[in-house]
Amino acid sequence: MTPAHKPAMNTPRLATGPTPAPLGQPLRLPSLRRLSWGAAACLAALVSVPARASDASAAPTVAAWTPASLRSTLADLPRGDPAAGQRVHEQLFCASCHGDKGVAPTQNWPHLAGQRAAYTAKMLLDYQDKRRLEGKRAELMHDIAVMMTPQHIADVAAFYAAQPAPQADGTPRPKPERQPNDVAAETLVRFGDKSRLITPCASCHGVAGQGGKLEASALAGQNPLYFVRTLLDYQSGVRHNDSVKGMRASAKKLSRSEIEALATYYADLPGNHSAVTSR
C-alpha cells in the first residue's frame, strides 16, 4: 500500500484547519466564532439550499479509498470512548445541529444516533479530506471536521453508536407518486430485484437496518428527508465517497418514488441498536 492510500492516523491531519480545541478547555475564539456563524447561517439559509454540483475547489485532497486502505485506516483509529464522545459532541457544538443525543431536530439533516462507529468515522474523515462534498451542507461539515483529531472522531463515533436508533422522529414522511414498475420497499430491502440486478439493501445494511460490515451504515430511524436527498445525491453522482461505487450503482437503478418509499420504510423500522457498538 502506498503512503497516499494510508493517511497517518496518529498525527492529526489539521493542516487546512484551525488547531483542535483540547477537551476540557474552552474552544479558542476563532473556532467559536466560526461555528456560531455556521450554526446561525445554517438555520437561516441552508435548509432550503439546493444541492449543487461540486466545482474544482471540491476536489478531494487525497486518493480515493481502496477497500484495503479504508479497512486499515479505520483499524488504526484510536479506541473510542462514548463518555468522552459525549463531551466532544457538546463542546464542538455537534449537539446544536444534531440534537443532544444525535437525533437532529431539523428536517433534512441526518440523525447520528444508533449509527455504526465505522460509518461515522469514515464520514468525518471524508468531510475532512473533501471526499464527501456534495453541497453547502457538506462544506459546513468539512469546516467542522477539520477541527477534529482522530481521538475526537473515534470518541464521537462511539458515542453515537451507543445511542438507541431514533424512533418516531416526527419528520414528515415523503408521499411518493408510485410508478407502475415500482417494487415495494420491503421487497427491495429483503430480496432486491433480480430483473434490475438490485442487491437486497439488507445484505449490506442488515435485516433490521442496523448496519453491516465495516462502513455499511445503519438506516433504521434515519430522517427520511435526508435519506431521500442523499440517495438522489448518489444517483446524480455529486455524492461519490462510497468506496467502490456500490451506493451510486444501487441508487441509479431506483426510481424516485422507490427511494421515497424506502425512506419511509427505514424511518419507521422499530430498530433498537443500543447493542451495536462494535466497529
Which residues make up the interface to ligand HEC (CB under 6 A)? 38-39, 42, 92-94, 96-98, 109-110, 112, 120, 122-124, 134, 137-138, 140-141, 144, 148, 156, 188, 198-199, 201, 203-205, 215-217, 219, 222, 227, 230-231, 241-243, 246-247, 250, 262
Q: Quick one: cell of 184?
A: 415495494
Q: Are 167 and 122 in contact (CB under 8 A)?
A: no
How far, in Å, CA of 210 to CA of 207, rounded? 7
- Least Cβ distance, residue 177 to ligand HEC (angstroms): 18
- Least Cβ distance, residue 95 to ligand HEC (angstroms): 8
How far, in Å, CA of 87 to CA of 79, rounded? 16
- Least Cβ distance, residue 92 to ligand HEC (angstroms): 4
Count of residues in the chain:
279
Closest to ligand HEC by CB, 6 vs 34, is 34
Closest to ligand HEC by CB, 38 vs 150, is 38
Closest to ligand HEC by CB, 54 vs 241, is 241
How far, in Å, CA of 167 to CA of 159, rounded? 18
Q: Are 241 and 131 in contact (CB under 8 A)?
A: yes
- Least Cβ distance, residue 197 to ligand HEC (angstroms): 11
How far, in Å, CA of 41 to CA of 275, rounded? 36
Closest to ligand HEC by CB, 1 vs 44, is 44
- Least Cβ distance, residue 45 to ligand HEC (angstroms): 11
Q: Are 161 and 86 in contact (CB under 8 A)?
A: no
Q: Quick one: cell of 186?
A: 420491503
- Least Cβ distance, residue 18 to ligand HEC (angstroms): 13
Closest to ligand HEC by CB, 124 vs 162, is 124
Closest to ligand HEC by CB, 106 vs 272, is 106
Q: Quick one: cell of 142?
A: 468539512
